[in-house]
Chain A
Amino acid sequence: MSEKIDFSHVRFLVVDTNRLMCQLVKDILMMLGCTQVTTARDSEKAIANLRAGGYDVLITEWNLKPRSGLELLDWLRTDGGSPDRMMPVIMLTANSEVEYVMESRDKGVTEFLAKPFTADGMYRRLVSVIARPRDFVSVKGYFGPDRRRQQIPFEGPDRRQQKPD
């Protein structure tokens, strides 16, 4: 039997200033079986929604007003009023340059998806944040998912399995 993913009980908040983009992401989520998708067009509305509770995953654009998507992420991760500091966050943004990826990562983003995105890319990020949850790290200046994800193949002998001399 293979692992399945059932999106029907996962509650999403999608934040983007662009109406068509909000609608497209919502349509994709509904097509995948989601039943609870809320959209917001600015960060204050998003915060009000998050405060009210009832969300499992936040998908946000960086380019928001009055607070940016990055500030929204920071609020969620560090503010005392945050409803869930460990909520998975997908940064879905046209700020696609590498410095934005690094900055998002340093603020505790769970996944980064650059626009323009593909359907496959979107699906992979969704599966990653739901089915492959990461532990969190709290250290001075950072609260967010453990950023150590790189798997470097090593071809030498694995000395960790050897008994000490």
Chain B
Amino acid sequence: MRNKPQFIPNRGELKRKAVNYKTGMEIKLDEATLKKMEQLVENSSAEFLSETVESLKGLREALGRAATDPSARREVLEHIREEAFQIKGMGGVFGYPLLTEFAKSLHDFLKELEDLDELQQEIVSIHIDTLYVVVSHKIKGSGGPLEAQLRASLKAAVDKAKPAAKPAP
């Protein structure tokens, strides 16, 4: 490392290995290939949904554990955070943007937490229920009246846990 930047030319070995004028596919992605890629994703969609159902079941059980055993709360918090992160990343890939949106809401809610008190457990529970609704109804869109209703109820729940604003002096 040095103070004066040193520029290192890229050797271009990988490009030489893969880019040519004879074999392979057009660099500009064509419709047919894009369709095939999208079909691949679609083919895994059912597996994603069934894994998400299992994940939500696991979250429901974990939440029950946190309610009865306060010493398990931190571990449960970590578990829920991890699952929320996974659903956040995967939902939209498989055509369920609402799963991504609601899992992000859950992940954001848990981000700074170090414990799960009763109110926070309730908020998590509402998130899990809402995610269930999306999965069980296989809701693929994000702009209809049901989606708006789900979004509003989730927001109301999260707002409940926010500290009340201080009155103006």
Contact = CB atoms under 8 A, between A and B. Distances in A.
25 contacts: A2-B27, A2-B28, A3-B20, A3-B27, A4-B19, A5-B24, A6-B19, A6-B20, A9-B17, A10-B17, A18-B86, A20-B48, A28-B37, A86-B10, A94-B85, A94-B88, A115-B88, A116-B97, A116-B100, A119-B37, A124-B29, A135-B9, A136-B8, A139-B5, A142-B1
Nearest to B91: A116
A93 B86 CA distance: 10
Nearest to A27: B40
Nearest to A23: B44
A123 B29 contact: yes
A4 B18 CA distance: 8
If over half of A's interface residues share one DSSP class (helix, strand or loop), that class is named, otherwise mixed; here it is mixed
Given A10-B17, A116-B91, A139 B6 contact: yes
A60 interface: no
B14 interface: yes
Contact of B86 (A7, A9, A94, A117): A94
Interface in A132-161: 133-143, 146
Contacts of B162: none
A141 B36 contact: no
- Centre residue among A2, A4, A31, A32 by max chain B CB count within 10 A: A4
Given A2-B26, A8-B24, A116-B93, 8 more contacts: A3-B21, A6-B19, A10-B14, A20-B90, A28-B41, A94-B88, A135-B7, A138-B1
For chain A, which range describes its interface: under 10, 10 to 19, 20 to 34, or 35 or more residues? Answer: 35 or more
Contacts, number: 159
Contacts of A88: 14
Interface of B: 1-12, 14-15, 17-29, 33-34, 36-38, 40-41, 44, 47-48, 51, 82, 85-86, 88-94, 97, 100
